[in-house]
Structure 1
Amino acid sequence: MTAPAPFQIHATDAQLEDLRARLHNTRWPEREVVDDWSQGTPLSYVQEVSTYWADQYDWRSREAALNRLTQWRGRRRALASILSICAHRMKTPCLFCSVTVGPVQ
Protein backbone atom coordinates (compact mmCIF):
# COMPACT_ATOMS: atom_id res chain seq x y z
CA MET A 1 0.00 0.00 0.00
CA THR A 2 1.61 3.26 -1.07
CA ALA A 3 -1.22 5.79 -0.98
CA PRO A 4 -3.10 6.40 2.27
CA ALA A 5 -6.39 4.53 2.34
CA PRO A 6 -9.34 4.90 4.71
CA PHE A 7 -10.14 1.98 6.96
CA GLN A 8 -12.35 0.99 9.87
CA ILE A 9 -11.68 -1.22 12.86
CA HIS A 10 -13.42 -4.57 12.87
CA ALA A 11 -12.69 -7.31 15.38
CA THR A 12 -14.50 -10.57 14.75
CA ASP A 13 -16.50 -12.25 17.49
CA ALA A 14 -13.95 -15.07 17.39
CA GLN A 15 -11.08 -12.64 17.98
CA LEU A 16 -12.85 -11.05 20.95
CA GLU A 17 -13.72 -14.44 22.41
CA ASP A 18 -10.11 -15.54 22.01
CA LEU A 19 -8.96 -12.40 23.84
CA ARG A 20 -11.42 -13.04 26.67
CA ALA A 21 -10.26 -16.65 26.96
CA ARG A 22 -6.59 -15.63 27.06
CA LEU A 23 -7.31 -13.01 29.73
CA HIS A 24 -9.23 -15.56 31.83
CA ASN A 25 -6.45 -18.15 31.39
CA THR A 26 -3.57 -15.87 32.35
CA ARG A 27 -0.97 -17.56 34.54
CA TRP A 28 -0.18 -14.94 37.16
CA PRO A 29 3.18 -14.57 38.92
CA GLU A 30 3.51 -14.43 42.69
CA ARG A 31 2.49 -11.20 44.36
CA GLU A 32 5.19 -8.54 44.78
CA VAL A 33 6.82 -8.25 48.21
CA VAL A 34 6.09 -4.53 48.73
CA ASP A 35 2.81 -2.64 49.05
CA ASP A 36 3.65 0.12 46.58
CA TRP A 37 4.59 0.52 42.92
CA SER A 38 8.37 0.39 43.48
CA GLN A 39 8.58 -3.12 41.95
CA GLY A 40 6.36 -2.20 39.02
CA THR A 41 2.62 -2.39 38.57
CA PRO A 42 1.04 -4.27 41.50
CA LEU A 43 -0.32 -7.69 40.59
CA SER A 44 -3.73 -6.87 42.08
CA TYR A 45 -4.06 -3.84 39.79
CA VAL A 46 -3.12 -5.84 36.68
CA GLN A 47 -5.60 -8.55 37.67
CA GLU A 48 -8.33 -5.93 38.15
CA VAL A 49 -7.67 -4.41 34.72
CA SER A 50 -7.56 -7.86 33.14
CA THR A 51 -10.90 -8.80 34.68
CA TYR A 52 -12.40 -5.52 33.46
CA TRP A 53 -11.16 -6.14 29.90
CA ALA A 54 -12.39 -9.73 29.93
CA ASP A 55 -15.81 -9.23 31.52
CA GLN A 56 -16.92 -5.59 31.38
CA TYR A 57 -15.24 -3.66 28.57
CA ASP A 58 -17.71 -2.96 25.77
CA TRP A 59 -15.51 -3.42 22.72
CA ARG A 60 -18.36 -3.01 20.24
CA SER A 61 -19.30 0.45 21.56
CA ARG A 62 -15.63 1.57 21.45
CA GLU A 63 -15.26 0.08 17.98
CA ALA A 64 -18.33 2.03 16.82
CA ALA A 65 -17.08 5.25 18.42
CA LEU A 66 -13.65 4.90 16.80
CA ASN A 67 -15.22 4.09 13.44
CA ARG A 68 -17.14 7.38 13.54
CA LEU A 69 -13.72 9.05 13.19
CA THR A 70 -11.91 9.24 9.88
CA GLN A 71 -9.05 6.75 9.97
CA TRP A 72 -6.31 6.16 7.42
CA ARG A 73 -3.71 3.49 6.84
CA GLY A 74 -0.61 3.83 4.69
CA ARG A 75 3.15 3.90 4.59
CA ARG A 76 4.87 6.54 6.69
CA ARG A 77 5.95 8.68 3.74
CA ALA A 78 2.41 8.76 2.37
CA LEU A 79 0.97 9.80 5.73
CA ALA A 80 2.62 13.22 5.50
CA SER A 81 -0.19 14.31 3.17
CA ILE A 82 -2.77 13.27 5.77
CA LEU A 83 -0.99 15.32 8.41
CA SER A 84 -1.19 18.32 6.10
CA ILE A 85 -4.93 17.81 5.58
CA CYS A 86 -5.54 17.41 9.34
CA ALA A 87 -3.53 20.45 10.23
CA HIS A 88 -4.87 22.85 7.64
CA ARG A 89 -8.37 21.81 6.63
CA MET A 90 -10.10 19.60 9.15
CA LYS A 91 -9.28 21.14 12.56
CA THR A 92 -9.12 17.56 13.78
CA PRO A 93 -6.35 16.20 15.97
CA CYS A 94 -4.25 13.55 14.26
CA LEU A 95 -2.77 10.55 16.02
CA PHE A 96 -0.12 8.59 14.17
CA CYS A 97 0.74 5.07 15.24
CA SER A 98 3.51 3.06 13.66
CA VAL A 99 3.27 -0.71 13.55
CA THR A 100 5.90 -2.80 11.83
CA VAL A 101 5.04 -6.34 10.83
CA GLY A 102 7.98 -8.37 9.65
CA PRO A 103 11.49 -7.13 8.95
CA VAL A 104 12.11 -3.40 8.78
CA GLN A 105 13.27 -2.41 5.31
Structure 2
Amino acid sequence: MALTYKMQNFTIDWMAPWQAITAGQQALAIQRRLEHEITPAHRLFDKGATAIGLRRDNDDVVAVLSNGAFVNVHLVWGSEPEPFPDRYPDWFAYGTIESFITAM
Protein backbone atom coordinates (compact mmCIF):
# COMPACT_ATOMS: atom_id res chain seq x y z
CA MET A 1 0.00 0.00 0.00
CA ALA A 2 1.34 3.44 -0.89
CA LEU A 3 1.25 6.15 1.72
CA THR A 4 1.48 9.74 0.59
CA TYR A 5 3.85 11.93 2.53
CA LYS A 6 4.31 15.63 1.92
CA MET A 7 7.33 17.53 3.16
CA GLN A 8 8.43 20.93 1.99
CA ASN A 9 8.37 20.86 -1.82
CA PHE A 10 7.95 17.16 -2.53
CA THR A 11 5.48 14.33 -2.15
CA ILE A 12 6.43 10.68 -1.71
CA ASP A 13 4.04 7.76 -2.12
CA TRP A 14 5.83 5.33 0.20
CA MET A 15 5.99 1.73 -0.98
CA ALA A 16 6.72 -1.25 1.27
CA PRO A 17 9.11 -1.94 2.83
CA TRP A 18 9.70 1.82 3.14
CA GLN A 19 7.64 3.99 5.46
CA ALA A 20 7.56 7.66 6.32
CA ILE A 21 8.97 8.78 9.62
CA THR A 22 6.11 10.61 11.25
CA ALA A 23 6.33 13.34 13.84
CA GLY A 24 6.69 12.36 17.46
CA GLN A 25 8.91 9.99 19.40
CA GLN A 26 9.85 7.83 16.41
CA ALA A 27 11.01 10.83 14.39
CA LEU A 28 12.99 12.19 17.31
CA ALA A 29 14.61 8.82 18.07
CA ILE A 30 15.63 8.11 14.47
CA GLN A 31 16.97 11.64 13.96
CA ARG A 32 19.00 11.46 17.17
CA ARG A 33 20.43 8.08 16.15
CA LEU A 34 21.37 9.41 12.71
CA GLU A 35 23.12 12.39 14.27
CA HIS A 36 24.86 10.13 16.81
CA GLU A 37 26.27 7.84 14.13
CA ILE A 38 27.40 10.56 11.71
CA THR A 39 30.56 11.70 13.47
CA PRO A 40 32.97 14.49 12.39
CA ALA A 41 35.05 11.96 10.40
CA HIS A 42 32.04 10.90 8.29
CA ARG A 43 31.41 12.46 4.86
CA LEU A 44 27.81 13.30 5.79
CA PHE A 45 28.82 15.19 8.92
CA ASP A 46 27.53 18.77 8.97
CA LYS A 47 25.47 18.22 5.80
CA GLY A 48 22.18 18.81 7.60
CA ALA A 49 20.79 15.28 7.18
CA THR A 50 17.12 15.00 8.14
CA ALA A 51 15.67 11.49 8.33
CA ILE A 52 12.34 11.25 6.49
CA GLY A 53 11.85 7.51 5.94
CA LEU A 54 12.99 4.09 7.03
CA ARG A 55 12.82 0.51 5.85
CA ARG A 56 10.90 -1.96 7.99
CA ASP A 57 13.07 -4.89 6.88
CA ASN A 58 16.53 -3.51 7.69
CA ASP A 59 18.29 -0.52 9.28
CA ASP A 60 18.23 1.81 6.26
CA VAL A 61 17.08 5.39 6.64
CA VAL A 62 16.48 7.84 3.81
CA ALA A 63 17.52 11.38 4.64
CA VAL A 64 17.43 14.72 2.88
CA LEU A 65 20.56 16.85 3.11
CA SER A 66 20.47 20.61 3.47
CA ASN A 67 21.35 20.91 -0.24
CA GLY A 68 18.23 18.87 -1.15
CA ALA A 69 20.05 15.63 -2.02
CA PHE A 70 18.54 12.31 -0.92
CA VAL A 71 20.81 9.73 0.71
CA ASN A 72 20.43 6.23 2.13
CA VAL A 73 22.17 5.61 5.46
CA HIS A 74 22.48 2.11 6.91
CA LEU A 75 22.43 2.71 10.67
CA VAL A 76 24.75 0.56 12.77
CA TRP A 77 22.97 0.78 16.15
CA GLY A 78 26.19 -0.05 18.00
CA SER A 79 26.82 1.17 21.51
CA GLU A 80 30.56 1.66 21.03
CA PRO A 81 32.25 4.14 18.70
CA GLU A 82 32.82 2.67 15.27
CA PRO A 83 36.44 1.66 14.51
CA PHE A 84 36.14 3.30 11.06
CA PRO A 85 33.99 6.41 11.62
CA ASP A 86 34.83 7.72 8.16
CA ARG A 87 33.21 4.63 6.55
CA TYR A 88 30.37 3.74 8.91
CA PRO A 89 27.51 4.09 8.88
CA ASP A 90 27.57 2.98 5.26
CA TRP A 91 25.66 5.26 2.90
CA PHE A 92 25.05 6.10 -0.73
CA ALA A 93 23.46 8.98 -2.58
CA TYR A 94 20.22 8.78 -4.49
CA GLY A 95 20.66 12.40 -5.46
CA THR A 96 17.21 13.51 -6.51
CA ILE A 97 13.81 12.63 -5.15
CA GLU A 98 13.04 11.02 -8.50
CA SER A 99 16.04 8.70 -8.12
CA PHE A 100 14.92 7.67 -4.64
CA ILE A 101 11.35 7.03 -5.79
CA THR A 102 12.61 4.91 -8.71
CA ALA A 103 14.86 2.89 -6.37
CA MET A 104 12.14 2.45 -3.79
TM-score normalized with structure 2 length: 0.26
* Structure with more strand by fraction: 2
Q: Larger relative CO (CA 8 A, sep 6+): 1 or 2? A: 1
What TM-score results when the alignment is normalised by the length of structure 1? 0.26
Structure with the higher fraction of residues in helix conformation:
1
Structure number, greater radius of gyration: 1
